[in-house]
Structure 1
């Protein structure tokens, strides 16, 4: 049992997990995590079959980059409005509908006859996946205690990396032995099964803390216009931007690594997919460990989350710059693995910062805004821009320039750190003032 308190020095955060059975919370986490894996399996299986599509349809790197980037672009554009709809009409039903849509669209990729059909199908994959990350992580954050935020956010975000690992590894093997259409088809079936199972097990009424519900079944009082906390502080806006810029690097490596290995190591599709998946797996493990370190060191010093995020940006820039300056070989692959181990480690700290700097009632929309920045600045812009640069100077040279974006991300997060304490204190005063009103409304309804 956790005390439902307001701590001014940490932003007046409410414990929204009180009264939710821990076992049920872990079951919800497991299913939500599984759907996130399906999400990224459907998204990243494309990367493993890039060489086959390029050869069969005679595509340029820019066209291949667009097939990947269109998904991230749609996620970026639609995540905010769809997250608002999910908050209004129910998160559980929304998550199940999203999973069904992206799985059917992935099946459409398997049936595509040409590049235009594939582009339309990938467009629909992006529409289906648009708000899943933001709504899913809002569910996870709400059903566990505050002190686990960075760790759980990192673990949940790592689900995307694990999904990328499975999508590229299994996709590469399936494509090599059965053709690229089977790679898409198997990912679609996995997602459809989970989409049907999720609303059967997870119920909307069970993921809302009894502490936030009155005796009449209504939610307790909320801040008037809580959406303003999404953009009202300099530090939260800088966090959105810094997180997105850092994912420019990690997202580009994930998308283009199979092609890099195919061209510069002469690896077959299945071997390149498996090797790339191992690199992605390193980033997933690193994301979780970096998040755990963030929770441990930032327990009593919230500003350390920002310092760690800055450190992750600069260290990954250094290691990846060294890696892509090396000739092809085992040492280069080891350095790439090490760089990716740290590169996506900013996910946990930045997610925790966003949660701490916004009101709990709009966390789904706050994470939607973070997802918007991550996709527009990182996962969409990164692969597309690297593809265009690759068409001009080659993929190897494009990879050598790419890590420099991490320096820009670190500078933006340094700006966030400068304003972090002041913005946390302002939110603490706002939520602290609301506490008495919420308690009065709750007791008055009993």
Structure 2
């Protein structure tokens, strides 16, 4: 039987691959326009996703929900993302990145708008599931497109732009939700945050996309042959130990961040007994600190990598250990709602934020453009199915069993586990980097 050639070996040569690391693959103006659009779409992705966390008290009162049900409303988005992220990533690599961004943004914006018209928990849960279906393909498309627009020298910075926009959207969603619900009611909050994402989705159609330049025109294949190539691609991706460790660490990071985004406002209102507006302000300070660190973390990782490949996972391991320890101290030893606790949580988030985009950067750095979205989707699938979707539910369950303060302390320990996986990358990343491939691309 003739052995099928690995799809990762397809069109590995070209002028793009041979260009210096500081050369822009596309005109810098177009690259920056793409960065701005993807940043703001990503921001409103998280605004639409996280606005519900600031509405927990209103939803609990109106629909008589338990903490477990509130956590499920957050996790539902991540569960539905997990269902569609792989087929969405396949379309990204084989269809169009900018059209996928437009389609995803439109779906999640409309579904967020529908949340304002629900009449019970079941309807709200269905709308949240639809929101997750819309968000499934955005990050693979955005990361794949933006990383291709930037020079290899600035890849970590490019991936940080996407992640920073998404992270910044969380506190914006919390503040808008708290303000609008207090003055006009919780239903109006969904409508206010849905419109900007819809408008930005149409602007995404003006971005430039790219295609892989092949040495030979690919032969037309049937469905089963294409499926075989896709499975072969997946096998080649997971053969890299660094990718597997990055995925495991990303699960730990997103599991804790899901808890941080979903339960921090409720923690301050319930445990510290402060008004919802004050609680949302505290939560926003913590998450904004994380967002700023994400943006600064990209250039830091680029600088560290320019010194040595091995220094990147060393830094990430240290950041995970130190931030995890500080979160445990803040929730366990500090007076809830005190300035000391808030300051320590902000400091922890400044360190924690630097690791956020690093996982995507490592995957982008090890994969070629023609299957990069597929590789990123594996991480997104894992971090949503095992991270974001699990964290809020488990925390809500522990809170129902004990109390929310205990649940927050226990959730912080997951960062210490994530540090172990980056510790393994100290040895695997340099070897995987030497074996990584490249393809030639052109923009259109």
Q: Residues of 2 paired with 1:334 and 1:355: CA distance? A: 34
The reply on whether 1:306 has 2:308 as its aligned counterpart is no
SS of the aligned residue for 2:307 comes to coil
- Secondary structure at 1:155 match in 2: helix
Specify the SS of the correspondent of 2:80.
Answer: helix
Deviations 1:341-375 (A, max 9, x none): 22232123212211122222111111111211221
TM-score (norm 2): 0.88
Per the alignment, do residues 32 and 62 of structure 1 end up closer, same or farther by CA in structure 2, a change over 3 Å counting? same
Q: Distance in 1 between matches of 2:290 and 2:36?
A: 20
Residue 111 (structure 1) shift: 0.5
Quick check: 1:67 aligned with 2:69? no
- How far does the alpha carbon of each residue in 1:376-421 deviate from its partner, in whole angstroms, 9 at most, with x for none? 2321111111111111111001111111111111112212322222
Q: Secondary structure at the match of 2:331?
A: helix
CA contact (8 A) 1:49 1:269 kept: no
Q: Bigger shift: 83-92 or 401-410?
A: 83-92
- 100-109 or 416-425, which deviates more: 416-425
Within the alignment, does 1:322 sit opposite 2:324 as a pair? no
Query: Does residue 207 of the first structure (1) align with residue 184 of the second (2)?
Result: no
Q: 2:279 aligns with which of 257, 272, 277?
A: 272
CA contact (8 A) 1:229 1:358 kept: no
In structure 1, how many angstroms separate the alpha carbons of the residues matched to 2:194 and 2:271? 31
Match of 1:365 in 2: 374
**1:246–1:157: structure 2 CA closer, same or farther, 3 Å change rule?**
same
Cα distance between partner residues in 2 of 1:30 and 1:217: 34
1:216 to partner: Cα distance? 10
Output aligned runs, 1:67-106, within 5 Å.
67-106=73-112
Whether the 8 Å CA contact 2:251–2:387 is kept in 1: the answer is yes
1:22 maps to 2:22: no
Q: Of the candidates 17, 31, 46, which is equivalent to residue 52 of structure 2?
A: 46
Q: 1:130 aligns with which of 117, 128, 136?
A: 136
CA separation in 1, counterparts of 2:58 and 2:159? 35
CA distance in 2, matches of 1:303, 1:71: 35
Q: What's the secondary structure of 1:407's corresponding residue?
A: helix
Q: Which whole-Å deviations, capped at 9, do the CAs of 1:325-347 have from their partners, x for residues lacking one? A: 21121100111111112223212
Cα-to-partner distance string for 1:270-305 (whole Å, 9 max, x where unaligned):
332232112110100111222221111111311211
Name the CA distance, whole Å, in 2 between partners of 1:98 and 1:60.
31
Contact map agreement 2:35 2:161 (CA 8 A) in 1? no
Unmatched runs of 5 consecutive residues or more in structure 1: 7-12
Say if 1:363 and 1:49 are closer, same or farther in 2 by CA, change over 3 A: same
User: Could you say if the C-alpha distance between residues 143 and 294 of structure 1 is closer, same or farther in structure 2, counting changes exceeding 3 Å?
Assistant: same
Specify which of 232, 237, 241 is matched with residue 239 of structure 2: 232
Over the residues paired in the alignment, what is the CA RMSD in angstroms? 2.5
Task: Find the counterpart in structure 2 of residue 9 from structure 1.
Answer: none
Across the two proteins, how many residue pairs are aligned to each other? 416
Q: How far, CA to CA, are the matches of 1:270 and 1:374 in structure 2?
A: 30
C-alpha contact (below 8 Å) 1:229/1:359 kept by paired residues: no
Q: TM-score, normalised by structure 1?
A: 0.88
Distance, in Å, in 2 between the alignment partners of 1:92 and 1:336 is 37
Residue 7 of structure 2 corresponds to: none
Q: Is the 8 A contact 1:161 1:283 kept in 2?
A: yes
Contact 1:243 1:346 survives alignment (8 Å): no
Give the match for residue 392 of structure 2: 383
- 1:18 positional shift: 4.8
For the 8 Å contact 1:226–1:362, the answer to whether it is kept is yes
List gaps (5 residues or longer) in structure 2: 1-14, 220-228
Which has the higher mean CA deviation after the structures are superposed, 109-118 or 85-94? 85-94
Contact 2:106 2:198 in 1 (8 A): yes
Q: Contact 1:50–1:64 at 8 Å: present in 2 too? A: yes
Q: Deviations over 1:50-87 (max 9, x none)?
A: 01111111111000000000101111232111111222
Shift of 1:198: 2.0
The answer to whether the Cα contact below 8 Å between 2:92 and 2:140 also exists between their aligned partners in 1 is no
> CA-to-partner distance for each residue in 1:131-176, whole Å, 9 max, x for gaps?
1112111111010011111122122201111111110011110011
1:116 paired to 2:114: no
Q: Report if aligned partners of 1:14, 1:360 keep a CA contact under 8 Å in 2.
A: no
Looking at structure 1, the residues matched to 64 and 428 of structure 2 have their Cα atoms a distance apart, in angstroms, of 50
Superposition misfits of 4+ residues, deviation over 4 angstroms? 13-19, 214-219, 224-227
1:356 counterpart = 2:356: no
